[in-house]
Amino acid sequence: MRAIVQDEYGPPHTLSLGEVPTPTPGADDVLIRVHAASVDYGVWHIMTGLPLVARPGFGLRRPRNRVPGMDVAGVVESVGANVTAFRPGDEVYGEATGAYAQFALARPAKLARKPANLSFTEAAAVPTSGVTALRALGQVTVGEKVLVIGAGGGVGSFATQLATAVGAHVTAVCSTAKADLVRSLGARAVIDYTREPLTGTYDLVVDIAGIRPLPLLRGLLTERGRLVVVGGEGGGRWFGGLGRMLTVRLITPFTRQRLDALIALTRTADLDTLRDLIEAGTVRPAVGRTYPLAETSTAVSDLATGNAPGKLVITID
């Protein structure tokens, strides 16, 4: 089968199109014929092997999984002997291993039936970003003031819609190029970080893949406000954004403000919740660009520069 392969850590040009054997499902696996797969920062970190402290999980000298990619949408090709939740022909979405290929393996606990009103391309944009946004918002309520930093990206576009749907007042932080997108998703106010500083006081601040100092973010909160740090960049080769996230956890017991560092794991229950919201018309994935499988390295480069709005999706013929 055709697949994107990577045999060494490095920048996007280490990703290349090749031929690999079609994976064989084990007793607890689902084999998916992939129609689309999306790009997120988790893929970028595994591609680069950074931060170095994560290498035991990624693979010490080279990527443990030669075919990258996680978020997927497609059709069940076959299932293992112990799988009862899905059967061949089911249209599914969720998280797989080696999604940048014609076929990929997944565990049933990380899959759900695809929203009926989405194309495969749209559905592939949902899993990691949608689940992360759902977890980051928690129990946000009507009238709360929410600041979404990174609102024009994958997680941010979902967070903006989800918070708006429950009646929160959302202020979106993004670049000039993404301002129209976040307004269309329901943001009542937009802060263009390229032109103006972050201001205001909020009940909840969601900081997505950011590098801003924690004192600055806490200064934007009410006395008992909530800060959720989702991922993070910067911080050097060894610890990257993990150091900042650890700091959040360490200082939380000593403040009235509620601080959290979120790493959300994809699971069926959350995918089912998102499917219900999508089929009800409450939220919809914001797909910014699509790329053929052969241009996966370009998609990852575009993600890293931050210039493309919404989610970036790889389509597989």
Task: Using the predicted structure, report yes or no on whether residue 241 has a pLDDT greater than 90.
Answer: no
Task: Using the predicted structure, report yes or no on whether residue 238 has a pLDDT greater than 70.
Answer: no
In this structure, which amino acid lies at residue 167? G
Both tokens of residue 48? 């680069």
Task: Using the predicted structure, report yes or no on whether residue 109 has a pLDDT greater than 70.
Answer: yes
Question: Looking at the domain covering 129-262, what would its CATH class be?
Answer: alpha beta
Helices (H), the chain: 41-48, 55-58, 120-124, 127-137, 154-165, 179-184, 214-218, 236-239, 242-251, 268-279, 296-305
User: Could you say which DSSP state residue 161 is in?
Assistant: H
Q: pLDDT tens, 123-140?
A: 999 999 999 999 999 989
Task: Using the predicted structure, report yes or no on whether residue 55 has a pLDDT greater than 90.
Answer: no
Sorted by where each begins, the domain ranges of the chain are 2-126+285-315, 129-262
Distance, in Å, from the CA atom of 285 to the CA atom of 129, rounded to the nearest integer, reads: 9
Distance, in Å, from the CA atom of 140 to the CA atom of 220, rounded to the nearest integer, reads: 17
Helix (H, G, I), strand (E, B) or coil at 79: strand
Tell me if 172 sits within 8 A of 148, measured CB to CB.
Answer: yes
> In terms of pTM, does the model score above 0.75?
yes
HSE-CB of 95 using CA atoms within 13 angstroms: 20
CATH architecture of the region 2-126+285-315: Alpha-Beta Complex (3.90)
Mean predicted confidence (pLDDT) in 278-301: 96
Distance, in Å, from the CA atom of 302 to the CA atom of 66, rounded to the nearest integer, reads: 22
Q: pLDDT tens, 31-40?
A: 999 999 999 8
Confidence of residue 237 (pLDDT cuts 50, 70, 90): confident
Domain pair 2-126+285-315 / 129-262, same fold: no
Between the alpha carbon of residue 93 and those of residues 70, 235, 300, the distances in Å are 11, 33, 21
Q: pLDDT tens, 83-96?
A: 999 999 999 999 99
Tell me if 115 sits within 8 A of 278, measured CB to CB.
Answer: yes
Residue 209: its pLDDT value, please?
72
